[in-house]
Amino acid sequence: MSVIQDIREKYAKWAVVAIALSLIGFILMDAFAGKGSIFGNSNSTTLGSVNGKKIDFRAFDEKVKATEQQQQQQGAQLDEARKQQLIQQLWNQEVNQMIMQDEFAKLGLKVGKKELNDLIYNNPGQQVIQQFSDPNTGQFNIAAYQQEITRLKNSKVEQEKRAFADFLNGLEYNRMMEKFNALVGASAYFPKWYLEKMNTEKSGLASISFVRVPYTTIADSTTQVSDKEIADYISKNKDDFKRNESRSIQYVTFNAAPTAGDSANIRKQLEDLKQPFEETKDNEAFVASNFSDLGYYNGMMSKNAIQAGIYNDSVIKVGKGKVYGPFVFGNNYELAKLVDQAVWPDTVKVRHILIATTQRNQQGQVYPVREDSTAKKLADSIQNVIAKGSNFDSLCIKFSDDPGSKEKGGIYDNVTPGQMVPEFSNFIFANPVGKKGIVKTSYGYHYIEILSQKGSSPVYQVAYLTKPIVASKETDNTASNAANKFAGDSRDLKAFSENWEKELKPKGEQKIPATVGPNDYSIPGLGVSRSFVRDIYKADKGEVLQPTLIGDKYVVAIVTDIVKEGTMGPEEARLMVEPVLRNEKKAKQIIKNIGTFSTLEEASQKAGFPVEKQDSLRFTGGASQLSYETKLVGMAFNPANTGKLVQKPIDGTQGVYVLKVDNLTATAVEAADIEAQRLNLRMQARQRIAGGYGNYGYGMQEAAPSAVLRNVATVKDKRSDFY
């Protein structure tokens, strides 16, 4: 909302953008149309591609900025981590949408003009309905919604036209996704014979006898696996050995956190300011002149809103005009002065019309939109025509620059002290119900009507003088100098390791390895620093990076490996492939040692391992370790093997097995409701199609069609060149 914001932030969102974003909010952040850009490596504008179709940076970046603006409008704090998460989220949506648009075209899926109009006016989405609903009754104000749609349709403002087009594109895309999901869902078919077979297999039990020879009986050292064997295995199973681009690093850190001495010095600074703060008559000027991290708020607030944490009561008890502190609050030392106190309503319901004098663009820059005198004149005119009987709601829709309330008749309900900017708050809490008037704030002129008030409680005006607990220049220089010396002395991996071993390890400092992807924005153990990741990718293998300050640590890193996207080589895949190939060799050796046999006892004698029994092996799995030996389970439930000794040993995952199937039985089960099972499997199929996962009855899970389509798509990602 335009007024209810953090009490130290300035509202400055374009009304037209906020309205459009409120419409778009329920859409899957659909694609923006874009032209070109001057950004990126070698002036390239290509952020990536999907199946050969390019994604333009400028179009994508517009979407990023608009989404950031929407998040900020909703009160979100956008730190670096959150911004990078938004970029990742939007990228995934962009890629998925491009993939699905191709599928829509192949299937001939379209949304007609009449169908789109029906979506616009009769099914706009739950978030849009909420945006245009009365906050008290919950009733959807369809007239206000349709009026806004008509206005946007006829708008000549380029940004409004583009935002409305995006809204329509999103509606159309969502509708085609519904059609696609319905089409795929209708294809899910589970015949009666399949369900009956599934039920039979679920109830089956096998009683078996077997000899198990674990692979661990043969020493690994006796079975060598060559690079060529690993390479041949990779060649036959390439899909299992795909790798993404990455960098391997090692890093050490040098602590630059504030020392106890730094903390004591900052506390002393505030102690010296306590008496002058108490004596001053101009609290706002005093706070500003002493560079407080917490700005001055010239308004009342409830006790819970006082920014002193566990010291709130102490601030109140100190008495009017007195200062409490210094005390630690968050990462600051703080002085708190009780400036004034009063009794105000607990909550107020108001309605208002804002005539803005300033707004803020997407870069956060404030710019004028009206002359002060023009805004005041318009506000006076609105007050006059309302006094003569004109409809408030109509005037609000037409003139108000507050996107947070204009569709709701300008109403804000359950407003609490300190929730609004001071001038607005003072007017609605200090005056009685029914009071009407014009109030000037930093946003412009508000015509306000106080509709109701509830309860009463003490409120307080508190001025704060805060200083962050930060490292002194001396502390920072000590850490920085140590990091620079280490980096200068460690110009290759050998020197890096030796210097860590000699200088840092005795102090308990770790040398930490990490693997970093091109679009990562944080390093394990360090925190968020996208710029550090980009520096890593600019470096060569074996290069030591210059010290970088991340949080309260100076970091020195060395690039130990550069991995390109593609298929793993033998050295990289050895840890995964070697055990598989080694077990294959061990299996051949064990099978050769057992040789031929006519009875299980003979096989036991040759193998040197006893005969074991399992009376309740299930085809569909269970707690037994044998449930994971799929070859053995398959042989056990083959009706042709019932009562027989399987003549060939079975090479399993943990060892070699000689198997005799003693008997096959089935547990007693109630008559299955085939139709109920069919309905349940259809529901699971629809869940998979909608993006979830489902079970076909054998413990096998499959992803949604859209996820499968993405897995087979050719996606080129160049985001790391731009973000």
pLDDT in tens, 203-236: 889 999 999 999 999 999 999 999 999 999 999 9
Provide the pLDDT confidence category of residue 703 given band limits of 50, 70 and 90.
low
Pick the closest to residue 554 from 563, 545, 562 (CA basis): 545
Residue entry with tokens 């001057």: 38
Largest CA distance in the chain: 109
| pLDDT tens per residue, range 360-413 | 765 556 788 899 999 999 999 999 999 999 999 999 999 999 987 888 899 999
Q: What is the CATH number of domain 347-454?
A: 3.10.50.40
In this structure, of 138-142, 146-150, 471-475, the range with the lowest mean pLDDT score is 138-142
pLDDT 10s digits, 329-346: 999 999 999 999 999 999
Q: Judge whether residue 164 has pLDDT over 60.
A: yes
**CA–CA dist 184, 205 (Å, integer):** 36
CA–CA separation, 169 and 166 (whole Å): 5
Q: Which of 408-417, 499-508, 678-687 has the highest mean pLDDT?
A: 499-508
Number of helices followed by number of strands (H, E) in the chain: 23, 26
**In the chain, where does the domain assigned CATH 3.10.50.40 lie?**
246-257+472-564, 347-454
Long-range contacts of 578-583 (CB under 8 A, 24+ apart): 578/225, 578/230, 580/233, 581/225, 581/229, 581/230, 581/233, 582/215, 582/220, 582/223, 582/225, 583/215, 583/651, 583/653
- Indicate if the pLDDT at residue 668 is higher than 50: yes
As a whole number, mean pLDDT of residues 276-305 equals 91
pLDDT at 632 over 70: yes
d(CA 499, CA 160): 60
pLDDT of residue 114: 92
pLDDT tens-digit series, residues 29-70:
343 333 333 334 446 799 999 999 999 999 999 889 988 887
Q: What is the dihedral of CA 110, 112, 118, 120, to 10 degrees?
A: 70
- Map residue 621 onto helix, strand or coil: coil
Q: What is the pLDDT of residue 670?
A: 61
% of the chain exceeding 70 in pLDDT: 89
- Please name which of 15, 8, 18, 21 lies closest in space to residue 355, comparing C-alpha atoms: 15
User: Half-sphere exposure of 570 toward its Cβ, with a 13 Å CA cutoff?
Assistant: 10
Question: DSSP readout, 416-475?
Answer: -TTSS-HHHHHHHHHS-TT-EEEEEETTEEEEEEEEEEE--EEEEEEEEEEEE----HHH
Q: Residue 140 has what DSSP assignment?
A: B
Each residue's pLDDT tens digit, 83-135: 999 999 999 999 999 999 999 999 999 999 999 988 888 887 777 787 777 66
Q: Are 90 and 64 in contact (CB under 8 A)?
A: yes
* Per-residue pLDDT, 407: 80
* SS3 state of residue 559: strand
Q: What percent of the chain has pLDDT over 90?
A: 65
Q: For residues 703 and 421, which has the higher predicted lDDT (pLDDT)?
A: 421
Determine the average pLDDT of the residues in 185-195: 86
Lowest-pLDDT range of 401-415, 605-619, 641-655: 401-415
Q: Which residue has the tokens 């294959």?
A: 584
**Interatomic CA distance for residues 183 and 327, integer angstroms:** 64
Sheet with 436-441: list strands edge to edge.
411-415, 347-356, 444-454, 436-441
Place of tokens 């929407």: 70
Global pTM reads 0.72
Rounded to an integer, what distance in angstroms lies between the CA atom of residue 88 and that of residue 165?
24
Q: What is the pLDDT of residue 578?
A: 97
Least confident of 91-105, 562-576, 588-602, 683-697: 683-697
The pLDDT value recorded for residue 34 is 37
Assigned fold of 246-257+472-564: Chitinase A; domain 3 (3.10.50)
Tens-place pLDDT, residues 510-563: 999 999 999 999 998 898 999 999 999 999 999 999 999 999 999 999 999 999
Average pLDDT of the segment spanning 161-182: 87
Q: Is the pLDDT of residue 700 over 70?
A: no
Could you check whether the bond before residue 326 is cis, i.e. omega within 30 degrees of 0? yes
Of 682 and 340, more confident: 340
Q: Which positions ≥6 away from 700 have C-beta within 8 Å?
A: none
d(CA 210, CA 657): 7
- For 469-552, strand residue ranges (E) read 512-516, 522-523, 527-528, 548-550
The whole-angstrom distance between residue 495's C-alpha and the CA centroid of its chain comes to 39
Decide: helix, strand or coil at residue 644.
coil
CA dihedral 477, 483, 486, 490 (to 10 degrees): -140
Residue 362: its pLDDT value, please? 53
Q: Which carries the bigger pLDDT value, residue 556 or residue 708?
A: 556
Alpha carbon 630 to its chain centroid, in Å, reads 38
